[in-house]
A and B are shown apart, each in its own frame.
Chain A
Amino acid sequence: MGNLAYIDLLIVVVYIVGTLVLGITLGRRMSTGKDFFLAGRTLPWWAIGFSLVATDIGGTDIIGVGGAAYSYGMAVANFEWIGCIPAMVVAAFLFVPIFWRAGVYTIPEFLERRFDARVRSALAVCWFAFMACNIGIMLFASARMMQVLFGWDPVVCVLTMAALVGVYTLAGGLAAVVYTDVIQCIVLIGGCLLVLVIGLIDLGGLSGLRAGLEAVQASGGTAAAAHPTDLILPLDTPTPFPWAGIYFGLGMILGPAYWIGNQAIVQRSLGARTEFDAKASYIFGALLKNLLPVIIAVPGLIALAKYPGLAQGDEALPTLVAHMMPVGFRGLFLAAFLAALMSSVDSYVNSAATLVTNDLYKRFLNPAASDERLLRIGRTVTAGLILWGILFALYLSRLEGSGIYAIFQTLLAFFQGPALAVVLTGVLWRRATAPGALTGFVGGVLCAVTLFAMNQPAVYGPMQWQPLFRIGEPFLYFSIWAFLVALVLVIVVSLLTEPEADDKIRGLVYGRDLPERQ
């Protein structure tokens, strides 16, 4: 789809200019750190709901989910359905109200109030490392994708994307991030919906899609051919989505860890104008999430029915767009791709800056810092993170082919299970103590690292062992065991240590002492 007409480019330019104008306009209202990091706690539920969905769907997801559907079938939709919606509903009614009432800026800040500074610092460091690296990874992966799709220079793509996101995130903080996410989510949904509708019309509707998939099934060949529309796949499936990993790893651990404990996600609900808006945003997001796999995964199936011989799944959507989308609509799809990328990068930049400013600078270096000073620090850190993202993306481009990207993603997934165990017990169990939380978190991470090491050929080869897991990317299984080990350690050590004082944890644990406050 390398050739774009002027009308396509015009659509992209209009989208970019609109985003920048909105972000810079909102930036004029910034005067304090609270404005910058929590949008002055003025955000309405509908804006946060759109922003939650836009943040979750990155630029690579637009292409990658369709590509995975092409390669493995609809089982990839589990990541948007069972991996998101139940966790969002639970978060809306159990966790988000408690976080919002606590009036905190970050989840680690909440954990210091509930436990102690050590637990706060351990989680803040892990989340910051995850977010900072993810900024570079997202920029690199998207630039690489734009090179493949449009033949654009990846270095120019990284620099351009970082500059665009940097301008409005630096100016407008969380408010700019959330309100530009609204535009980006609408563009994203519109662009993908268009691909779906045009693709289905071209195939002759749902019956045409069904017939095409049956033909692919009859010919065999790809992993998707066996179960193109099944969500639940057997344990020994050749795809990365066996049911046990999906149910226990994704549905029970990684999904809740993401929607309850990920600072980049939860931060926007902390900026809600009322507790009701905070809760409603998650429910609105859950309703939107029901739609997403239909518009981003089903086009992969359409490509499978129409072009069954592609070498790689990631070629599915670009091939579909290049062959089916008329002039003008390609620009809308490119705008959707850029929207998905920008909405994720801006959120991670803003949240990482919040962690550094709130959990490092204000907590340890300058507790008496004024709100205006925090705004200046937040903007400086934001600029630094953009620069870091550019440098890290360029560094990754030099390591391409070494597998560093996949290893990095796995390493970063290690702490999510233990972090969930700490947050869950902190909010739901009064008896959980600070030593228990810290021991559980450290023990869980060590468990994940050990399992990862035992699954590496460099470790099991010389010992003449077999790999510990039988699937290619067992990060879902790491998370299950790391969570279980962390949970057991939190419980055992908490029961062996002095309970936290009632005054300390009042209002921070789900139960009878929660006031109704709006």
Chain B
Amino acid sequence: MTPLHYFGDLVRDLLLRVPLGAVRILFVSTLAVLLLWVLRLPQRDVSGIATSGQRHNLRPWAAVALLVQLVIYIFM
């Protein structure tokens, strides 16, 4: 056994103690934080001018993509 083995076993034992309910919260909260980040991004970062000359906002579409993910990871 090398120090890497001992370190690996320690990490593995720690992770094995994490209940799956807490893991689900980790997945969901990561997606939620990302969604909040998208909602708070400056307007210039999430919008742009298309070739038609009109300004379009991508924020709602990005939010929908992440919301669907949130629902999936809450229930599956």
Contacts and interface: CB of A to CB of B under 8 A. Distances in A.
Given A85-B65, A93-B62, A247 B26 contact: yes
Interface in A7-27: none
Contacts of B1: 465-466
Query: Which one of B48, B51, B66, B69 has the highest number of Cβ atoms from chain A below 10 Å of its Cβ?
Result: B48
B34 to A, nearest CB: 5
A-side interface size class: 35 or more
Given A82-B27, A93-B45, A247-B23, A231 B76 contact: yes
A66 interface: no
Q: Is the interface of A mostly helix, strand, loop or mixed?
A: helix
Contacts, number: 111
Q: Chain B at the A interface: mostly helix, strand, loop or mixed?
A: helix
Contacts of B51: 44, 273-274, 277
B27 A276 contact: no
A465 B65 contact: no
Contact of B16 (A74, A92, A236, A247): A236
A279 B27 CA distance: 25
Interface in A438-464: 454
A243 B20 contact: yes
Interface stretch (A114-122, A175-183, A282-290, A317-325): A282-290
A286 B65 contact: yes
B1 to A, nearest CB: 6
Contacts of A286: 62, 65
A504 interface: no
Contacts of A234: 20
B26 A81 contact: no
A234 B72 CA distance: 18
A277 B24 CA distance: 34
Interface string A221-244: 000000001111011100000011
B5 A465 contact: yes
Given A280-B50, A287-B61, A516-B44, 6 more contacts: A81-B72, A93-B41, A243-B27, A276-B47, A277-B50, A279-B58
